[in-house]
């Protein structure tokens, strides 16, 4: 075990846990803390530094969630290998939408010749841990064949659900058991099952604008969807209180598509609404791993003391969309009802994928991959903001840039359709967010959506330069 002795400034505006987190992270990145070094326990370090256990726990949890540390049962907390995240020079951006009959590592190098595509939903494949994932798939086939040839547990692979519970506690502060977790093939499928198997009311509230995929699922199940307008800090609680619904779907960690991060004060008001209504909050935490500005805010589920939050999580943004692997964390009061309703359903996620993902998470590869992607996407996020500032300046406004894998541009005084056409003529693909408004005509005509996760930094800079030429020259 090692000793950590940072200089913590109690009078600083930066919280003590953040100072401690940054100190330990720097020690790891500088090599002062080596791979497999064991850190002091929370109790030992809090006594050594004369700070609260909560301070140490918060710092450790952040480092665990970013993949710098790993908690090993009955052993302690250890330093993980620090992997570098180089940009791949001279190759087009590799994204998950590039489909071909070639192997993943080959098709990901092809790109779209002459086109820079800022589509939201792309993720970087160039650094995807193909070998580690193949090993997990092979081990599942070779050593766990009995698990992968059957239909599998209707609720999902038990070991994977236990790993998800551990990950959620470390990364989002969500305390839950495997008993509450149910696997599904994507968020839309999860919401569809919730509509079928839970006694949700016919009237469901939703942010306006909001994710059109989930809105379509509600409509297909005959739900009366009530649109709740957004304020600067998230959906209007006042409008929610008067809408007649007692179920609401929200994306508080990165409102889609506007990008608002709901502050903790409003989260408390939303939880109070659910408690008073005897209703439920469907929290879609779709890309919470990727936050670039400000302090991390716990998930609504982590703040829930009344068991009113249904938590929706996915591996599509953090791992691989093609795995079709999402999950729901249900309140204890609903878990048995949902489980009983599943008796007439088979598990929708491939048992091979479930078992391989369990092995991938258990071995620490997932945490290392998340840390790598956080660093990469943060670097691309900075590159995009810098390019917009340098190339487009005061002619545009930036919306929703604090987290996630996309942002909106408000191109002052211009029309989205014209902007998209002009950009395409220069070999750049940008998109309109209007489909996420119930009435697309209400989307501001000057809004353009840019996804950046699947675009390399060199292409980001070139793409924004081309946008300047297309739009302003």
Query: Other CB atoms closer than 10 Å to residue 322's CB: what's the count?
Result: 11
DSSP-assigned letter for residue 231: E
Given a cut of 50, whether residue 113 has pLDDT beyond it is no
What percent of the chain lies above the pLDDT cut of 90?
A: 57
Given a cut of 80, whether residue 297 has pLDDT beyond it is no
Q: What is the mean pLDDT of residues 351-380?
A: 90
What percent of the chain lies above the pLDDT cut of 70?
A: 91
Given a cut of 80, whether residue 235 has pLDDT beyond it is yes
- Helix or strand (DSSP H, E) at 186: none
Lowest mean per-residue pLDDT among 65-69, 145-149, 396-400, 447-451:
65-69
Omega of the bond leading into 257 within 30 degrees of 0 (cis): yes
Rounded Cα distance, 172 and 150, in Å = 32
Lowest mean per-residue pLDDT among 85-99, 158-172, 300-314:
85-99
Of 414, 406, 424, residue with least CA distance to 447: 414
Bigger pLDDT: 5 or 104?
A: 5
Over residues 14-28, the pLDDT tens digits come to 788 888 988 998 888
Rounded Cα distance, 398 and 12, in Å = 30
pTM over 0.75: yes
Over residues 137-163, the pLDDT tens digits come to 999 999 888 888 888 899 999 999 999
- Contact predicate 109/91, CB 8 Å: yes
pLDDT at 296: 63
Q: Which domains does the chain have, with CATH numbers?
A: 16-79 (1.10.10.10), 116-128+368-472 (3.90.1150.10), 135-364 (3.40.640.10)
Q: What is the DSSP string of 355-367?
A: HHHHHHHHTTHHH
Rounded Cα distance, 233 and 415, in Å = 26
């Amino acid at each position: 075990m090692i000793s950590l002795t940072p200089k913590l400034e109690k009078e600083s505006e930066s919280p003590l846990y953040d100072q401690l987190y940054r100190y330990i992270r720097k020690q790891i990145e500088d090599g002062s803390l080596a791979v497999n070094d064991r850190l002091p326990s929370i109790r030992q370090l809090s006594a050594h530094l004369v700070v609260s256990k909560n301070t140490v726990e918060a710092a450790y949890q952040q480092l665990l969630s970013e993949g710098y540390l790993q908690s090993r049962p009955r052993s302690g907390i250890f330093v993980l290998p620090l992997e570098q995240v180089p940009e791949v020079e001279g190759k087009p951006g590799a994204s998950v939408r590039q489909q071909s009959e070639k192997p993943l590592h080959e098709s990901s190098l092809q790109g779209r010749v002459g086109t820079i595509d800022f589509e939201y939903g792309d993720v970087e494949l160039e650094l995807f841990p193909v070998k580690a994932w193949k090993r997990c798939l092979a081990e599942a086939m070779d050593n766990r064949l009995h698990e992968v040839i059957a239909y599998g547990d209707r609720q999902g692979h038990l070991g994977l659900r236990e790993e998800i519970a551990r990950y959620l506690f470390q990364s989002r502060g969500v305390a839950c058991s495997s008993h509450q977790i149910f696997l599904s093939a994507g968020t839309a499928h999860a919401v569809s099952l919730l509509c079928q198997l839970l006694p949700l009311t016919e009237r469901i509230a939703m942010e306006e604008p909001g994710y059109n995929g989930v809105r379509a699922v509600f409509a297909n199940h005959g739900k009366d969807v009530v649109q709740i307008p957004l304020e600067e800090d998230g959906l209007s609680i006042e409008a929610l209180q008067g809408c007649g619904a007692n179920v609401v779907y929200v994306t508080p960690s990165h409102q889609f598509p506007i990008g608002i991060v709901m502050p903790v004060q409003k989260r408390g008001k939303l939880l109070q609404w659910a408690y008073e209504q005897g209703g439920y909050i469907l929290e879609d935490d779709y890309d919470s791993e990727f936050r670039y500005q400000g302090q991390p805010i716990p998930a609504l589920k982590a703040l829930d003391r009344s068991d009113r939050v249904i938590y929706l999580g996915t591996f599509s943004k953090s791992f691989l969309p093609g795995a079709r692997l999402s999950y729901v964390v249900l309140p204890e009061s609903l878990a048995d009802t949902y489980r009983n309703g599943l008796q007439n359903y088979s598990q929708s996620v491939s048992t091979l994928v479930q078992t391989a993902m369990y092995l991938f998470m258990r071995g620490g590869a997932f945490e290392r991959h998340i840390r790598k992607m956080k660093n990469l996407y943060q670097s691309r996020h900075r590159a995009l903001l810098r390019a917009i500032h340098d190339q487009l300046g005061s002619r545009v406004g930036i919306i929703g840039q604090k987290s996630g894998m996309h942002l909106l541009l408000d191109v002052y005084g211009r029309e989205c359709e014209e902007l998209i056409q002009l950009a395409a003529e220069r070999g750049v693909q940008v998109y309109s967010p209007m489909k996420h408004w119930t009435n697309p005509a209400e989307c501001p005509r000057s809004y353009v959506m840019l996804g950046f996760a699947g675009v390399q930094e060199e292409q980001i800079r070139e793409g924004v330069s081309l946008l300047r030429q297309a739009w302003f020259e």
